Amino acid sequence: MLRAIIVDDEPLSVKRLNRILSESGTVDVNGTFLSPLDACEFAGEHPLDIAFLDISMPEIDGMSLSEKLRELHPAMHIVFVTGYDEYAVQAFELNALDYVMKPVTAERVARTLDRIQSRPVAAFPEPLFAVRVFDGLRLFRQDEERILLKLRSPKTEELLAFLIYRGKVSREEIIDTLWSGLEPEKAHKNLNSTLYYIRKAISEARLDNLIKTYRKEIWIEEKHMTCDLYRFNRLVKQIRQSQEASVLRLIEQAEELYTGPFLNGKGYEWADAYGRQLEREFIQLLELAGKIHLEREERKPALHYFEAILKLDPLREDISLEAVRLYIAIGRMNEAIRYYHDLEQLLQQELGTQPDPRIEEAIRIATR
């Protein structure tokens, strides 16, 4: 049985299609949703083979929803169900399996299901295009050649980086961010030519086109690429939902990905706030790992994570206290004393204050 969901903001349409699919004998409707956001949440937690999507919905349109579902299930079949034939071309450009007009009939749905039976589900091949946005911006072929890709200009790099950061975004927002000082007509021309040069560089490297456009929106199609930022964000979400047994392994993976600040050295103003957010999230992961190791009395691994935090945020006195205590506990007294003096100097320079008295007290007791 095919595992399916139906997403449509019209209850009668959902009820009709649900009945037709249930009576087909080949589909198990796992869920029906009036809200695309609820459908996305469900899809993130359940295996699915096919989604029947209305195109015109208020929260997220069907085209956008199909992209989000494909991110969760790359091999999922998508069938658009709508009353507007004008969307047919766009539907098939987005690799939909089929396009069904309302009102839906059992005969028409049967033809769709026949197509599925004759077209077995297959996973997408591993993407060859790789993007790294931590500690700079690097693009390369993810194969044995590992060819670095060069873009035409700093603006083409910035546009690609902005699309990776924002996901689906309107042309107006791109222009307001990257070409705010230009007249509208010239700004639109610059946007179109910059998109062209990105696509050209990707095609010359014999890679799939990953930039899609629909009406006034532009987005990156993730299935054609791997990106350290996307992997990092997925890990953060997994860690928040995981049991302690698997948390440390996931944090180790996140630490491997976070090699430096987001788009380090590029100087994009729009990236500053998001870069700080990512750093805060990374520090939270390091702190979680350090505390888990500390509770297990695994001192050296705990110290590793606390030292990593202090490299990013040297003014964290609570972490400084834990690090000094660990230096003392594992017999590295000289490092504890040296660290205390460095912290004392830093706090005086930056804030005009003295370290937490408990840090000095821990050293004093240990040196008696």
CA dist 263 to 98, 173, 198, 259, 268, Å? 40, 20, 18, 11, 8
pLDDT at 89: 43
Quote the mean pLDDT of the chain: 88
pLDDT at 294 exceeding the cut of 50: yes
pLDDT score recorded for residue 84: 64
**Which residues lie closer than 8 Å to 183 by C-beta, 6 or more apart?**
none
pLDDT digits (tens, 9 = 90+) for 318-360: 999 999 999 999 999 999 999 999 999 999 999 999 999 999 9
Which among 152, 199, 201, 159 has a CA at the least distance from the CA of 179?
159
DSSP class of 367: T
Strand pairing class (211-214; 138-141): unpaired
Three-state secondary-structure class, residue 123:
coil
Strand partners, 217: 170, 214
Total Cβ atoms within 10 A of residue 128: 18
Please, is 181 exposed, middle or buried when counting C-beta atoms within 10 Å of its C-beta (0-12, 13-18, 19+)?
Answer: exposed
Question: What confidence score (pLDDT) does residue 7 get?
Answer: 94
Q: Among 1.25.40.10, 1.20.1050.10, 3.40.640.10, 3.30.565.10, name the CATH number for the domain at 228-366.
A: 1.25.40.10
pLDDT in tens, 96-135: 677 788 888 999 999 888 887 776 544 445 678 899 999 9
Q: Which CATH number is 2-117's, of 3.40.50.300, 3.30.230.10, 3.40.50.2300, 3.30.70.1400? A: 3.40.50.2300
Q: Name the fold adopted by 129-227.
A: Arc Repressor Mutant, subunit A (1.10.10)
Pairing of strands 138-141, 169-170: unpaired
Q: Could you report the per-residue pLDDT of 12-70, keeping only the tens digit for each? A: 999 999 999 988 888 989 889 998 888 988 887 788 889 999 888 877 888 888 888 88
Task: Select the more confidently predicted residue: 167 or 208.
Answer: 167
Mean pLDDT lowest among 65-69, 145-149, 278-282, 288-292? 145-149
Q: Please report, for the chain, the start and end positions of each structural domain, with discontinuous segments joined by +.
A: 2-117, 129-227, 228-366
**pLDDT at residue number 366:** 87
What pLDDT was estimated at residue 260?
96
Contact 83, 102 (CB under 8 A): yes
- Residue 87: pLDDT above 60? no
The pLDDT, as a whole number, for residue 120 is 54
